[in-house]
Amino acid sequence: MTSSHALSDALHRKVQEAIAASVAERRWVWSDESFDDLAQQLFAHQVQGSAAYDRYCQGRGVLPGEQNSWLDIPAVPTDVFRSIDLCSFPTEQSSVVFKTSGTTSGSRGRHFLRRTDTYIASLAPWMCTFMLPSGDQPRVVVLAPSAAQDPHSSLSFMLQWAVDVRGGAGSAFFWDSSGPMLAEAVESMRAASLVGQRVLLLGTARALQALLESFVSGALGGPLCLHRGSRAMETGGFKGASRTLSRELFYEGLAKVLGLPLEAIISEYGMTELASQGYQPSLFMAVAEEADERLSRLAAELPEGLDADGLARCFVFPPWCRVRSVDPQSLDVLPEGERGLLRFWDLANVDSISVIQTADVGVVREGAVVLTGRSPGARPRGCSLAVDELLAAARLATHP
Amino acid sequence: MTARSFLPGIDAKGNNVPGSNSLPDRLLASSTVLRSSAPVLRELGERGRIRTLAGLALNWRDPEDPYRREALEVLPAECGLSREMVEHGIEQAFSVITEQALRYWCLEEASGKPYQGRADPPELSAHIWASNVFVAGLPPVIASLLAGSPALIKAPDNMPSFAVLLARSVAEHAPELGSCLGAAAWSRGDIASTATFMDTADVLFAFGEDSTLDSIRALYFRPLFAFGARYSISVISAGSLGNDENIDALIDQMAPDHFAWDGRGCLTPRWVFVEGSAAIARMLAERAASRLPELAMRFPAQPLGDEAAAERSAWLGETGFAGWSRAGAGWACASLDSATLEPVPPHRSMCFVPIDSLDDLPLLLSPLGNHLQGLSFVGNEHAREELAKELQGLGLSRVTSPGDLQRPPVHWSHDGVRILAAFC
């Protein structure tokens, strides 16, 4: 084992211990001091381990030990993961490589993990908190590829964990090469209802929309009446999933065809470059009184934090993953409550990059985020040439 | 709110329009009026037209001019530009329309030449304007009036005001030109209006995206002069940099070219190619980063849209790994370690790219086809001429010193088109 591995292992241990302690004590807010301490150690490790990141930080005039706080650690935009391998170990030592979905340019962002235990240590308690708050073991029905079907999908990795570790009898992935196996999934959910088993339906927004449309068209028979305590999680982003439905109508439709109350339809926010995820808290709020009061207040304070039915539709991130909005022009961190591009400090990213600059837009308050999406409308271009489009076309012509 | 049309011969409500009073009917009726004013325009003579057009330009430069004032009120929101930028654009566009410049233009392109082999120029020219850089279509309109041809402008649906204000100002400030200029805005989807508009004209000048221009070419069989989207570059040749003070002065000179029109113009340099090492490019970027915060304030930026902000953030990250980058409110700059066009710089940025030799540029720029518009050059005259010759094949039509790129004279052959000669 190299010394950098020893340092990495020590950091993995520290992060896991901090997460475990936080979960055990139900401590949902970390002090700035403890967050900063860990963030600085990770920053030093990541700069030391990645020559590219080291040079990038030097270019920004920020190096370990020289910055004032975790807020000053240079963020790396998600797009960079498409062109540069950012990790503090040789990539051939990766135990898993998560890749983003393809883009028009054809390149995929890559997130290299040497160890997956910290990734699991981060995803597990937060998923359990928000999707399994009563500690049950439901039938997990997944409308997404399994980890075997898509070994480079961080989503599949997470869903596989849910099936393997928290899934009750009958849990399975309902996905084949042509996409979601809707009839089989519905059959499995009907079977669970017959025996009084709770269901946790997990799926991408696109797959759940296909499910909804198939119910509406009558292809799947009558609506389900899932056992009380069942729930559904939508992930992968609603954007682009539906051209006809608003998110609210989509949720209402899903609730109707599944026979679930609206608060049991939860959205998850995650991305390949992060090890931690955010969840909408409505299910959690229903069972955790101490969280209900704080989250209700937060959701009410956030613009569009509550939907028309008064349900909290903000995303809540774990205390080891902080999020702030930054000014689109200056990229400076904004005060809470101001709309901007979202930036994450994810301490569960031990060997890659902790500070991730996303292209998503939202408002943040005390770790709760409302995604506002990118404003629609044509981009002003004037008479200047769309150089990016021409270069992309030229690239495609060279490497079709 | 500025009206969406000013069509000579048509009253405000269109009550005097034969037919249905639809926009196509109004365009048709007004085109007859415009055509009938051609003799008035011609009787004025070249000198008279020059004098009148130069006087019109002076009016637009007068801070008290009501049309200028109205333009400053409405155009910032309409065009997504700051008031300062709109003012700069108006000043720039009209300051070059002087008697001297118009005389020179006539001498160079028009005088003594027959129009289309006939005694008279076209009776009516049509002009399709594009969005954002609201004065881009002005020179062909001035050329038309200068040549003695009335003109009708189709303004962008979402940016009607400048064209309409211009037409109104001509009617008020230059009545001796007759009813020679009309303008209206409508959407691309209004095919009936576009068809009528194009049918009425003897010659068409069109600005727009290449795809739009292709559609127009397929429909219009009379003389057509199309101006598509283009890009420009800056080049600093080896050995042309002086001491730190000179470098700061150079950055100060160059910056307005990058900031004008918020970087959306075809004359906006997208890259600053530096003949020399990556270290020199980096040094220039660092100097630029120290100068740009102040310079950017002279041309205040409009807030970035979400999409543009995300792309800019990604560019800063990518260039940060591929070289060096910095940004602030309304500006960004970077240097790259190698000669590459990607990642593509955002608007209002200076991206310094090292090249081994000026000879490398034609090949490096070749993926962009023949869309090169302008070159701002720092270096000796010989090298400048050599490079300009090399880049002719890529479409180059304007070569200047730093800071002059975005200040084309009225007689500039935009896209290589001799605009006034087009009426001959």
Report pLDDT digits (tens) over B349-361.
999 999 999 999 9
**Which pLDDT does position B100 carry in this prediction?**
97
B234 and B402 in contact (C-beta within 8 Å)?
A: yes
Q: Which residue has the tokens 């449309």?
A: A213
Q: Tell me which residue in A59, A341, A379 faces B313 most closely, judged by beta carbons.
A: A341
Q: Which pLDDT band holds residue A307 (cuts at 50, 70, 90)?
A: confident
pLDDT at B243 over 90: no
Cβ separation of A60 and B320 shorter than 8 Å? yes
B283: closest CA of chain A, how far (Å): 12
Q: Which pLDDT band holds residue A238 (cuts at 50, 70, 90)?
A: low
Nearest to A252 by CA among A313, A301, A298: A313
Backbone angles phi, psi at B30, to 5 degrees: -70, -35
Chain A within 8 Å of B257 (Cβ-Cβ)?
no
Strand B323-328 relative to strand B331-336, pairing: antiparallel
pLDDT at A323 over 60: yes
A377 CB burial (10 A radius; 0-12, 13-18, 19+): exposed
Chain A residue numbers with beta carbons less than 8 Å from the beta carbon of B330 are: 329
Cβ separation of A379 and B261 shorter than 8 Å? no
Chain A within 8 Å of B310 (Cβ-Cβ)?
yes
Chain A within 8 Å of B164 (Cβ-Cβ)?
no
pLDDT at A380 over 60: no
Chain B residue numbers with beta carbons less than 8 Å from the beta carbon of A329 are: 301, 303-304, 309, 328-330
CATH 3.40.309.10 domain locations along chain B: 231-400
Q: How many CA atoms lie within 13 A of B380 on its CB side?
A: 4
For the domain made up of B231-400, the CATH class stated in words is alpha beta
Interface of B with A in 330-349 (CB under 8 A): 330, 341-342, 344, 347
Q: Which pLDDT band holds residue A249 (cuts at 50, 70, 90)?
A: confident
Chain B within 8 Å of A344 (Cβ-Cβ)?
no
Cβ neighbours for B67, distance < 8 A, ≥ 6 positions apart: B59, B60, B165, B166, B168, B169, B172
pLDDT-above-90 percentage for chain A: 70
Mean pLDDT of B99-118: 78
Q: Which secondary structure element, helix H or strand E, spans residue A325, and what is its range? A: strand A321-326
d(CA A259, CA A190): 11
Cβ separation of A390 and B227 shorter than 8 Å? no
Chain B within 8 Å of A55 (Cβ-Cβ)?
yes
CATH 3.40.605.10 domain locations along chain B: 5-229
A362 and A372 in contact (C-beta within 8 Å)?
A: yes
**Which pLDDT does position A241 carry in this prediction?**
46
When the pLDDT of each residue in chain B is averaged and rounded to a whole number, the result is 93
Alpha helix (H) residue ranges in B81-159: 83-95, 99-105, 138-147
**Which pLDDT does position A34 carry in this prediction?**
95
pLDDT at B155 over 90: yes
**Which pLDDT does position A32 carry in this prediction?**
95
Nearest to B306 by CA among A359, A238, A371: A359
Compute the CA torsion angle A70, A344, B316, A395 (nearest 10 deg). Answer: 150
* pTM score of the predicted model: 0.88
Tokens of A109: 């962002």
Cβ separation of B264 and A381 shorter than 8 Å? yes
d(CA B47, CA B37): 18
pLDDT-above-70 percentage for chain B: 97
When the pLDDT of each residue in chain A is averaged and rounded to a whole number, the result is 89
Cβ neighbours for B382, distance < 8 A, ≥ 6 positions apart: none
Per-residue model confidence as pLDDT tens digits over A42-60: 999 999 999 999 999 999 9
Per-residue model confidence as pLDDT tens digits over B156-206: 999 999 999 999 999 999 999 989 999 999 998 899 999 999 999 999 999
**Which pLDDT does position A240 carry in this prediction?**
46
Lowest mean pLDDT of A239-243, A244-248, B338-342, name the range: A239-243
**Which pLDDT does position A101 carry in this prediction?**
80
pLDDT at B312 over 90: yes
Chain B residue numbers with beta carbons less than 8 Å from the beta carbon of A381 are: 131-132, 229, 264
Lowest mean pLDDT of A291-305, B60-74, B395-409, name the range: A291-305
A191: closest CA of chain B, how far (Å): 46
**Which pLDDT does position A376 carry in this prediction?**
44
Contacts made by residues A112-116, CB under 8 angstroms, sequence distance 24+: A112/A85, A112/A86, A112/A87, A112/A351, A112/A352, A113/A351, A113/A352, A114/A5, A114/A8, A114/A87, A114/A89, A114/A351, A115/A8, A115/A9, A115/A12, A115/A350, A115/A351, A116/A157
Which of B258, B297, B321 should be substituted to probe chain A, the one whose Cβ sees the most A Cβ atoms within 10 Å? Answer: B321
Q: Which residue has the tokens 């954002």?
A: B132
Cβ separation of B310 and A341 shorter than 8 Å? yes
d(CA A105, CA B214): 26
A149 and A180 in contact (C-beta within 8 Å)?
A: no
**Which pLDDT does position A377 carry in this prediction?**
42
**Which pLDDT does position B115 carry in this prediction?**
54
DSSP A20-74: HHHHHTT-----HHHHHHHHHHHHHHHHHH-HHHHHHHHHTT--TTTSSSGGGSP
Backbone angles phi, psi at B295, to 5 degrees: -65, -35
For the domain made up of B5-229, the CATH class stated in words is alpha beta
pLDDT-above-70 percentage for chain A: 91
B315 and B297 in contact (C-beta within 8 Å)?
A: no
d(CA B17, CA B27): 9
**Residue A383: closest CA among chain B residues belongs to which residue?**
B229
Lowest mean pLDDT of A387-396, B14-23, B218-227, B357-366, name the range: A387-396
Q: Please state the ipTM of this predicted complex.
A: 0.85
**Which pLDDT does position A398 carry in this prediction?**
64
Q: Give SS3 for A261.
A: coil
Q: How many CA atoms lie within 13 A of A165 on its CB side?
A: 15
**Which pLDDT does position A1 carry in this prediction?**
43
Nearest to A84 by CA among B334, B346, B273, B314: B314
Question: CA angle at residue A106 from A103 to A112, to 5 degrees?
Answer: 85
Count of other CB atoms within 10 angstroms of residue B155: 26
Mean pLDDT of B24-51: 94
Taking only Cα atoms into account, the Rg of chain B, rounded to an integer number of angstroms, comes to: 22
A125 strand-pairing partners: none
A104: closest CA of chain B, how far (Å): 14
Tokens of A332: 């400076």
Which of B306, B325, B326, B365 should be substituted to probe chain A, the one whose Cβ sees the most A Cβ atoms within 10 Å? Answer: B306
Q: Which secondary structure element, helix H or strand E, spans residue B381, and what is its range? A: helix B381-391
Chain A residue numbers with beta carbons less than 8 Å from the beta carbon of B227 are: 383
Q: Tell me which residue in A77, A381, A388 faces B317 most closely, judged by beta carbons.
A: A77
Interface of B with A in 189-248 (CB under 8 A): 207, 227-231
More confident residue, A3 or B349: B349
**Which pLDDT does position A30 carry in this prediction?**
95
A113 strand-pairing partners: A96
Chain A residue numbers with beta carbons less than 8 Å from the beta carbon of B320 are: 56, 59-60, 74
Chain A residue numbers with beta carbons less than 8 Å from the beta carbon of B231 are: 384-385, 387
A290 and A269 in contact (C-beta within 8 Å)?
A: no
d(CA B411, CA A73): 52
Cβ separation of B132 and A383 shorter than 8 Å? yes
